[in-house]
Amino acid sequence: MNIQLIRNATLIIRYGGQTILVDPFLAEQGAYPGFPNTANQEKMNPLVGLPVPVADIIKADAVMVTHLHPDHFDQAAVDLLPKDMPIFAQSADDAETIRKSGFLNVQTFEAPAKLGDITLFKTGGQHGTGEIGKLMGPVSGIVMQHYDEQTLYIAGDTIWCSEVAEAIGTYQPQVIVVNGGAAQPLGADPITMTKEDIRQVHKAAKYATIIVCHMEAVNHCLLTREELRSHVSDQGLASKVLVPGDGETITL
């Protein structure tokens, strides 16, 4: 498989003969205000531009949307993606919302679902703790299995939690994509993974390659790539926990 980080949680994955666009957040740099009541809310999102032409990003065979927060499926994605693009959503509710934007070919990855010879499974997650976690609404991850590929688990916007541990236990993925950045609401716990969370993922799946995205692209993500890279290197985990830059492709 090839996994190209575009920006934030937006990925282009070549897997099992398909090109899959995950969590398209396609606006130009600075198109939206910062998330209210979060760290650095005065900064405009996205903090950085797209590293490749948007025309290349939207050429996918299918799109997968882990949840509908605007840093995962934004107005630019609604405007730019062809309306007949196959889209997989986490739930019937999300699928209906996406259909209301004019998309004609929307299904869920709940069932499990199939895309060509790839089987998709939905996994759970927690987008924060306590009241903030509830306020953030349901989030999901996606597991992909194919007879010619290693099992891939995209955890989505979640902290380390029992749902992530369960997904690792159930599917034994060799490749795990997690959303780092330690996104920080004001006065609450982070809503995406911290470096400690990422170490927990590693402890639960020591055999796996972990790819960390959702870094340095939206206002409230405080964990930088430099800090995470030096942390994983201090822990002797630099070969197991990869922290790609925007536009970088990892082949596994």
Q: Which of 157, 163, 197, 216 binds Zn ion (CB under 5 A)?
A: 157
Whole-number minimum distance, CB 69 to Zn ion, in Å?
Answer: 5
Distance, C-alpha 211 to centroid of its chain: 10
Question: Which of 24, 42, 22 has its CA nearest to residue 32?
Answer: 42
Closer CB to Zn ion, 90 or 145, in the complex: 90
- Rule CB under 5 A: say whether 71 interacts with Zn ion: yes
- Rule CB under 5 A: say whether 216 interacts with Zn ion: no
Whole-number minimum distance, CB 183 to Zn ion, in Å?
Answer: 7
Question: Which of 124, 127, 24, 4 has its CA nearest to residue 71?
Answer: 24
Question: Which of 191, 82, 178 has its CA nearest to residue 128?
Answer: 191
Beta strands in 180-224 (DSSP E): 209-213
Contact segment (CB under 5 A) with Zn ion among 10-18, 51-59, 156-164, 194-202 equals 156-164
- Rule CB under 5 A: say whether 74 interacts with Zn ion: no
Pairing of strands 118-123, 141-145: antiparallel
Are 115 and 132 contacting, i.e. CB atoms less than 8 angstroms apart? no
Q: Kindly write out the interface string for residues 84-113 of this chain, putting x where it contacts Zn ion by CB under 5 A and - elsewhere.
A: ------------------------------
Closer CB to Zn ion, 26 or 118, in the complex: 26
Closer CB to Zn ion, 71 or 94, in the complex: 71
Secondary structure tally for the chain: helices H, strands E? 7, 14
Whole-number minimum distance, CB 98 to Zn ion, in Å?
Answer: 17
DSSP SS3 for 107: strand
Name 119's bridge partners. Answer: 114, 145
Closer CB to Zn ion, 65 or 208, in the complex: 65
Whole-number minimum distance, CB 71 to Zn ion, in Å?
Answer: 4
Closer CB to Zn ion, 225 or 240, in the complex: 225
Contact segment (CB under 5 A) with Zn ion among 12-20, 45-53, 138-146, 151-159 equals 151-159
Closer CB to Zn ion, 157 or 163, in the complex: 157
Contacts of residue 225, Cβ cutoff 8 Å, sequence gap at least 6: 215, 216, 243, 245
Token pair, residue 233, equals 């290197």
Q: How far apart are CA 17 and CA 8, in angstroms?
A: 24
**Contact set with Zn ion (CB under 5 A):** 71, 157
